[in-house]
Chains A and B, each alone.
Chain A
Amino acid sequence: TQLLEQSPQFLSIQEGENLTVYCNSSSVFSSLQWYRQEPGEGPVLLVTVVTGGEVKKLKRLTFQFGDARKDSSLHITAAQPGDTGLYLCAATPRAGTASKLTFGTGTRLQVTL
């Protein structure tokens, strides 16, 4: 079973600070996705990365896929209270099996004023 470790588990920061969340595994992924989940809701897809070394930007969020496709990071610039939530990485172990996602352990982010 592919294990995805996220760090840190919890993060409490003030508005305006920067932060980075990491997702690591010993296995190679065919693709990796980042989700954000708010209380009482299901996860919402933020981005999918498929190419080693790929960098994607979504406004203040920057996602990077490691060269070896075993790790990924999510960087948030100038965090806002609306960024609060549970951030989950999820991986597809091999192409064509995207529906069987393996989720990471999660990073719970709280951004305060």
Chain B
Amino acid sequence: KAGVTQTPRYLIKTRGQQVTLSCSPISGHRSVSWYQQTPGQGLQFLFEYFSETQRNKGNFPGRFSGRQFSNSRSEMNVSTLELGDSALYLCASSFGLAQETQYFGPGTRLLVL
């Protein structure tokens, strides 16, 4: 069974631009969560989607948004990029909302210049 895939793996943007990251969960998994990882703040929860609906949201500004499609694939968007948005963005999938085990993708490394 293929793992969680994320595209692109690396991205360089400039301040003020917007970016869209994509995540394909493991086949059959319906829950997708997004996390931001930085050296200073560690791994922080962004949001979770299940059945095309956002179910949980972390403490991030409205510039961070996401969506989930009917095939469970998910995208997250960051508008008006700031230098501090440079991070590794990780996607994790699980079978359902209450499942203990999440499987992480390799992440998308975003650099904002």
Contacts and interface: CB of A to CB of B under 8 A. Distances in A.
Interface string A1-17: 10000000000000000
Given A40-B106, A48-B101, A100 B43 contact: no
Interface in A21-41: 31, 33, 35, 40-41
For chain B, the bracket of interface size reads: 20 to 34
Given A41-B106, A42-B92, A43-B90, A100 B48 contact: yes
Contacts of A92: 100
Contact of A99 (B33, B42, B59, B107): B33
Main secondary structure of the interface of A (DSSP, over half): loop
B101 A42 contact: no
A56 B7 CA distance: 35
A102 to B, nearest CB: 7
Nearest to A103: B43
A82 B105 CA distance: 20
B13 to A, nearest CB: 20
B102 A105 contact: no
A48 to B, nearest CB: 5
Given A42-B90, A43-B104, A99-B56, A105 B99 contact: no
Interface in B5-53: 31, 33, 35, 42-45, 48, 50
A48 B31 CA distance: 19
A99 B107 CA distance: 17
Contacts of B92: 42, 99
Interface of A: 1, 31, 33, 35, 40-45, 48, 50, 88, 90, 92, 95-106
